[in-house]
């Protein structure tokens, strides 16, 4: 694997999930694989889980790790081709990415969408320019439209905790105080549509996702109906795709509460974190045995380690 930016970069998702679970049992089996190899983790936006879990995964494989908080510590990047750089930007992405490629064998990059220009965000221009100019294998640490390491960890979690061969998995929209990207729900939908699960998406009218990511899912505006017999509930806010990046008024009653779990099959509740308590998810759920959000975050390490292991094999 030379690129990990979506589920489409994975030859066999079942094998990758199994690899993650195997690494969880024996984290240090491949400690020599990454010897004398360096991964650079480049963040254009904040992170807790992705930064620490990918760093730990790389260390478990014996790699050296460099972290650059580009948004705080790097030069202001110019992204436009042909720009006359007589303003605030100091370094063009062409040089910045190419130089990072000189220091690293693999690069991880996080670049959120601006949520202003849908075509710009959905063209993945920042992520794709890094891939083009750095010249080494690249792993997405969340791009404008996808978060594949999160989705792989989510699938590993479902596979690990499911109690039937084909569980019902519900992605349900949740309220939030600000406009959030569609990357996590897009990505989760894309992975679930390829997994052996019954997959339902529930959201208020107006929060339809781009259908490129939801092909094969059952989609409803009725949350109660969706939750019936659910085995896993994935809670996530996202802003509207049309009008792009907007928060629509109302829908506060979409917050998941304990009483909404009654018609489920003792559902386990997931969230990628960070979570706004008592806005997206109630305290009573997060502090109950129904919540598996910490377990899910723990599995971020094995997802990252499975992906980096495949990349190291191909260096």
Binding site for ligand CP (CB under 6 A): 47-50, 142, 150, 272-274
Question: Is residue 176 annotated as involved in ligand binding?
Answer: yes
Question: Is residue 194 annotated as involved in ligand binding?
Answer: no
Q: Least CB distance from residue 263 to ligand CP, whole Å?
A: 28
SS3 state at 130: helix
Q: CA angle, 216 as apex, 212 and 219 as ends, to 5°?
A: 90
Question: Is residue 300 annotated as involved in ligand binding?
Answer: yes
Q: Least CB distance from residue 150 to ligand CP, whole Å?
A: 5
Output 49 or 260, the one with its CB closest to ligand CP: 49
Could you count the other beta carbons within 10 Å of the beta carbon of residue 164?
A: 8
Question: Is residue 236 annotated as involved in ligand binding?
Answer: yes
Output 101 or 235, the one with its CB closest to ligand CP: 235
What interhelical angle do 49-60 and 300-313 show, nearest 10? 50
Question: Is residue 51 annotated as involved in ligand binding?
Answer: no
Question: Is residue 276 annotated as involved in ligand binding?
Answer: yes
Query: What residue spans of the chain are helical by DSSP H?
Result: 13-25, 49-60, 70-73, 93-103, 118-122, 125-134, 148-161, 183-192, 211-214, 223-227, 283-286, 293-298, 300-313
Output 55 or 264, the one with its CB closest to ligand CP: 55
SS3 state at 251: coil
Could you count the other beta carbons within 10 Å of the beta carbon of residue 163?
A: 9
Closest residue by beta carbon to ligand CP: 50
Output 69 or 221, the one with its CB closest to ligand CP: 69
The Cα–Cα gap between 141 and 272 comes to: 13
Question: Is residue 23 annotated as involved in ligand binding?
Answer: no
Q: Least CB distance from residue 129 to ligand CP, whole Å?
A: 22
Q: Least CB distance from residue 53 to ligand CP, whole Å?
A: 8
Q: Least CB distance from residue 62 to ligand CP, whole Å?
A: 23
Output 150 or 172, the one with its CB closest to ligand CP: 150
CB 155 within 8 A of CB 22: no
Output 261 or 272, the one with its CB closest to ligand CP: 272
Q: What are the φ/ψ torsions at residue 173 (nearest 5 degrees)?
A: -60, 145
Q: What are the φ/ψ torsions at residue 17 (nearest 5 degrees)?
A: -65, -45
Known binding-site residue numbers: 47-50, 75, 110, 142, 147-150, 176, 236, 272-273, 276, 300
Known binding-site residue numbers for carbamoyl phosphate: 47-50, 75, 110, 147-150, 272-273, 300
Known binding-site residue numbers for N(2)-succinyl-L-ornithine: 142, 176, 236, 276
């Amino acid at each position: 694997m030379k690129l990990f930016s979506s589920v489409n970069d994975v030859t066999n998702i079942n094998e990758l999930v199994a690899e993650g679970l195997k690494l969880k049992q024996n984290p240090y089996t491949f400690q020599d694989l990454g010897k004398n190899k360096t991964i650079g983790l480049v963040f254009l936006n904040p992170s807790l889980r992705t930064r620490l879990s990918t760093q730990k995964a790389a260390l478990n494989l014996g790699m050296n790790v460099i972290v650059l908080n580009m948004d705080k510590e790097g030069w202001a990047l110019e992204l436009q081709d042909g720009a006359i750089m007589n303003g605030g930007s100091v370094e063009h992405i062409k040089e910045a990415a190419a130089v990072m490629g000189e220091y690293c064998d693999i690069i991880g990059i996080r670049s959120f969408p601006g949520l202003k220009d849908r075509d710009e965000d959905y063209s993945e221009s920042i992520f794709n320019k890094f891939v083009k100019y750095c010249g080494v294998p690249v792993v997405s640490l969340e791009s404008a439209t996808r978060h594949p390491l999160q989705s792989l960890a989510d699938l590993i979690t479902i596979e690990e905790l499911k109690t039937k061969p084909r569980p019902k998995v519900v992605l349900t929209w949740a309220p939030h105080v600000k406009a959030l990207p569609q990357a996590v729900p897009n990505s989760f939908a894309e992975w679930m549509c390829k997994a052996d699960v019954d997959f339902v998406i529930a959201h208020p009218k107006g929060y339809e996702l781009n259908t490129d990511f939801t092909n094969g899912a059952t989609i409803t505006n009725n949350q109660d109906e969706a939750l019936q017999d659910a085995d896993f509930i994935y809670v996530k806010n996202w802003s509207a795709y049309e009008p792009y990046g907007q928060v629509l008024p109302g829908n506060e009653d979409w917050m998941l509460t304990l009483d909404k779990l009654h018609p489920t099959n003792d559902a386990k509740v997931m969230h990628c974190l960070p979570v706004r308590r008592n806005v997206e998810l109630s305290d009573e759920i997060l502090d109950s045995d129904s919540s598996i959000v910490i377990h899910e975050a723990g599995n971020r390490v094995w997802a990252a380690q499975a992906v980096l292991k495949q990349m190291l094999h191909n260096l």
